[in-house]
Structure 1
Amino acid sequence: MALKPAGGKYEGVWINKLKNGDISYYINYRDENGKPVKVQVGKKTIASDFSARDAYAKLIEVKYKLQHDQEPTIKGGRTSKIKLDDLWQEFFIYAKANKKSWTIDEQNYNKHIKPAFGNKAVKNLKSLEFEKFKSDLVDKGLKAQTVKHQLTLIRTIINYAIKHDILKNFTNPLSNGKVKMPDIDNKRLAYLTKDEAKEILAILQSTHTLTYHLTVLLLFTGARFSEITGASAQKNKAGEAIPLKWSDVNLNNKTIFFKKTKNGNECHIAMNDTLVETIQYLYDNKVNDNVITNSVGGIILRMPDYFMSAVESVIGGNKIKDSKNKITAHSLRHTHASWLAEAGLDILQIKEQLGHKNIEMTMRYAHLIPNIRHEATRELSL
């Protein structure tokens, strides 16, 4: 222990700077019998902003009680006043090293969360404050998904602090449904007709080869963009992205295998002639183990702008439509499933094709499946 006086106006306060950066505070006084006493009264840590001033206040309190024949009560520290900004700084270090979306987290925190809660003591925050925060964001015109992102980020930050003992003896006010998340209906309704798809592919084939083949892959496998390119937070045990590999493609029986991910089950997809042509072209021009890459052999992080330009050429005004009715890269997956439904594939087969984990995700396509129930009913006879 290397105690030394705090100095200045805090006479009687001693400090001990620890190797981990924490600072222990002690007070030095004489008890009712005149015996010297030196006792720890608090510690400055990442979870507590205890200071020399707080220790000195404790010393004054102890001396006052001794002068008035009262027994002094020495408590180690005071109620933690760690602020949400403090937790954010710790979480941000983790996010930059582990999350591809850390820049989005940073933007959301600085724009929406910091002004509302950044300087507030976390342990004083109540669920009702977050309900009001949610209402304020809605009143400002933010979409439900954006509001949910803010609440989810706050909950994640606090959970991170609890998990790593930065916050102790504290229950997250956003956990266990205490704050109702906004209802989000983001199910896309738009999908391409076969004629529209033909036109879009024809434009891409003549303007940008990479985008053409990526569109073919997405359209005729029904896979997620991340499952094809690896551009997502989905990683393997080594922390690497998981794009579609050539080891997942079987050119002999014309099938592609998609591994199980956190978002979906594994599945095998049969290749039609158009997809076989694309696979063969990509195989003949491969530069590494990934089925499709950008021009320098890296992962494709987002759908090239050529795609949206082609869509706009075929479907005028697409870019200004609401999110439900706008054709995007993800609409290719929706298109694939819709075509299968219109062809009469039953809902369980569509679920298997898309790798959905539960049937509820697939039921959005049920209305497209030809309904033979009424026809069968009319044919009933004795």
Structure 2
Amino acid sequence: MAVQKWMKTKFPGVRYREHHTRMHGRQKDRYYTITYKLNGKTKTEAIGWASEGVKPADVSDQLNQLKRNHREKTGYKTLAEKRELAMAAERKVQDDQRLAQKRKMTLADVWEQQYFPQAQNNKAEKSWKREESLFRIWIAPLLGEVVFSEIGVKDLEKLKAVMAKKGASLRSIEYALAVVRQMFNVMISYDLHKGDNPVSRVKKPKEDNRRTRFLTKDEAEKLLESAKERNVVLHRMMLLSLYTGLRAGEILKLTWEDVDFANKMLSIRDTKSGKNRHVYMTKLLFSELKLQQDVRCDSDERLVFIGRFGGPMNEVSRLFKELVDDLGLNEDIEDSRQRVVFHTLRHTFASWLVQRGTPLYTVAALMGHSTIAMTERYAHLAPDGLRQAVAVLED
């Protein structure tokens, strides 16, 4: 195939060549270019085909505009630069449209499209279900239709006030604010929100939600005796919490590899505080775990406590609540911090130690507390020790 020659037009700097087969009406299709000088060098740029609507006069107008820009030192210097500027302008229009759309997104839109899907992927089921409940019951009815980017401190204070008026606990109010705060954090991390996080400017409600109830020796004995009669596995789990301070989750994850009968010691791994620790068995606990080992001697299961149908247990038996109710330990008690739950056994362990003069730092180590401040709630249980400390000044 012969190479097509470039042909001149009556417009200076405008050339074309004809396609050897492609037609435009009765004539062969023509492809137009322009040639001009830029910074002392000859530059050629393609324009397009006649069949696409390109006309020599229009091409000449574009060339003349370029030359004017060169002389006046304004605007684009090449057609490629012109196209880049046009594309940038188009991108800006699209970005502005997207930004405007983002600004119109309501809190409910952000929840459904951005926040909740990632929460389900990244959080424990218990956590995202709790957040979903808070959003559905409290946040959405009040702020769901508010434009997300316009939510401010005033809206969040209103949320606090409404929840408090309707009887929500301070913990629930604080949790609801935390959900909104995390929604803003996610949008900021996705570059979908350019402002600050308004929750950071809201004074968060505070209350001491820590449980304070612990069992007397008589209450503990009755509860253990009742459990032993009904369910020996639950009884042993209760002994572990009462005499080592283990959390329910730590008991459920305990394996036989963690049980050191030779040294009467348990190794607690992957704890809530992130620090492994060791606890020690009483004679009673030692003997009960030996019995538990005998029960499971024919099983390949590594866990000390397994479910009825094999495999791990997901939670402590609901029988515990029945035992507590049968003994009337929660009768007429409205304050949740004073109600007996399985975690009360752990508090009882710490409380009994402090009452018998065990130093707080020792109790903190046995409990696996990350800071001594968490253990200081038990300090008031050792008044004699405090009194004796001051008494040394008498000498």
Scaled by the length of structure 2, the TM-score of the pair is: 0.70
The share of aligned pairs that are identical, in percent, is 29
Query: CA offset at residue 212 of structure 1?
Result: 1.5
Tell whether the 8 Å contact from 1:256 to 1:271 is kept in structure 2 after alignment.
Answer: yes
Structure 2 match to 1:59: none
Q: Secondary structure at the match of 1:112?
A: helix
> Which structure 2 residues correspond to residues 104-143 of structure 1 after superposition, within 5 A?
104-143=130-169
Query: CA offset at residue 305 of structure 1?
Result: 2.1
Question: Which residue among 252, 273, 277 is the counterpart of 2:287?
Answer: 277
- Greater share of helix: 2
Structure 1 match to 2:241: 218
The AA in structure 1 aligned to 2:150 is N
Gap regions ≥5 residues in structure 1: 1-32, 51-75, 230-242
The AA in structure 1 aligned to 2:116 is F
Query: CA offset at residue 143 of structure 1?
Result: 0.7
CA separation of 1:326/1:285 partners in 2, compared to 1, >3 Å: closer, same or farther?
A: same
What are the Cα deviations for residues 261-308 of structure 1, in whole angstroms up to 9, with x where unaligned? Answer: 353643211101222133223333444222222212343333322112
Query: CA offset at residue 314 of structure 1?
Result: 2.6
Q: CA RMSD in A?
A: 2.9
Matched, 1:94 2:125: no
Query: CA offset at residue 81 of structure 1?
Result: 2.2
The AA in structure 1 aligned to 2:352 is W
Query: CA offset at residue 203 of structure 1?
Result: 0.8
Structure possessing the higher relative contact order (Cα contacts under 8 Å, 6 or more residues apart):
1
The AA in structure 1 aligned to 2:117 is I
Structure 1 match to 2:338: 325
Structure 2 match to 1:255: 265
The AA in structure 1 aligned to 2:120 is K
Structure 2 match to 1:149: 175
Q: Secondary structure at the match of 1:134?
A: helix
The AA in structure 2 aligned to 1:272 is T
Structure 2 match to 1:295: 308
Structure 2 match to 1:369: 382
Query: CA offset at residue 373 of structure 1?
Result: 5.3
Query: CA offset at residue 319 of structure 1?
Result: 6.9
The AA in structure 2 aligned to 1:270 is Y
Structure 2 match to 1:189: 212
Structure 2 match to 1:198: 221
Q: Secondary structure at the match of 1:269?
A: strand
In structure 1, how many angstroms separate the alpha carbons of the residues matched to 2:350 and 2:110?
Answer: 43
Query: CA offset at residue 122 of structure 1?
Result: 1.3
In structure 2, how many angstroms separate the alpha carbons of the residues matched to 1:77 and 1:345?
Answer: 63
Structure 1 match to 2:34: none
Structure 1 match to 2:103: 80
CA separation of 1:316/1:351 partners in 2, compared to 1, >3 Å: closer, same or farther?
A: closer
Q: Secondary structure at the match of 1:257?
A: strand
In structure 2, how many angstroms separate the alpha carbons of the residues matched to 1:78 and 1:156?
Answer: 21
Query: CA offset at residue 159 of structure 1?
Result: 1.3
What are the Cα deviations for residues 5-47 of structure 1, in whole angstroms up to 9, with x where unaligned? Answer: xxxxxxxxxxxxxxxxxxxxxxxxxxxx999988525448xxx
Q: Secondary structure at the match of 1:318?
A: coil
Matched, 1:173 2:210: no
The AA in structure 1 aligned to 2:314 is L
Tell whether the 8 Å contact from 2:143 to 2:155 is kept in structure 1 after alignment.
Answer: no
Query: CA offset at residue 94 of structure 1?
Result: 2.1
Q: Secondary structure at the match of 1:123?
A: helix
Query: CA offset at residue 379 of structure 1?
Result: 7.7
Tell whether the 8 Å contact from 2:135 to 2:176 is kept in structure 1 after alignment.
Answer: yes
Single out whichever of 307-316 and 248-257 deviates more from structure 2: 307-316
Pairs aligned (count): 306
CA separation of 1:184/1:49 partners in 2, compared to 1, >3 Å: closer, same or farther?
A: farther
> Which structure 2 residues correspond to residues 305-344 of structure 1 after superposition, within 5 A?
305-318=318-331, 320-344=333-357
In structure 2, how many angstroms separate the alpha carbons of the residues matched to 1:208 and 1:269?
Answer: 24
The AA in structure 1 aligned to 2:324 is V
Matched, 1:103 2:104: no
The AA in structure 1 aligned to 2:103 is S
Query: CA offset at residue 162 of structure 1?
Result: 1.9
Query: CA offset at residue 362 of structure 1?
Result: 0.6
In structure 2, how many angstroms separate the alpha carbons of the residues matched to 1:296 and 1:319?
Answer: 37
Tell whether the 8 Å contact from 2:330 to 2:339 is kept in structure 1 after alignment.
Answer: no
What are the Cα deviations for residues 333-359 of structure 1, in whole angstroms up to 9, with x where unaligned? Answer: 100001111121011111111111111
The AA in structure 2 aligned to 1:278 is E
In structure 2, how many angstroms separate the alpha carbons of the residues matched to 1:207 and 1:143?
Answer: 35
Larger radius of gyration: 2
Scaled by the length of structure 1, the TM-score of the pair is: 0.72
Gap regions ≥5 residues in structure 2: 1-60, 66-82
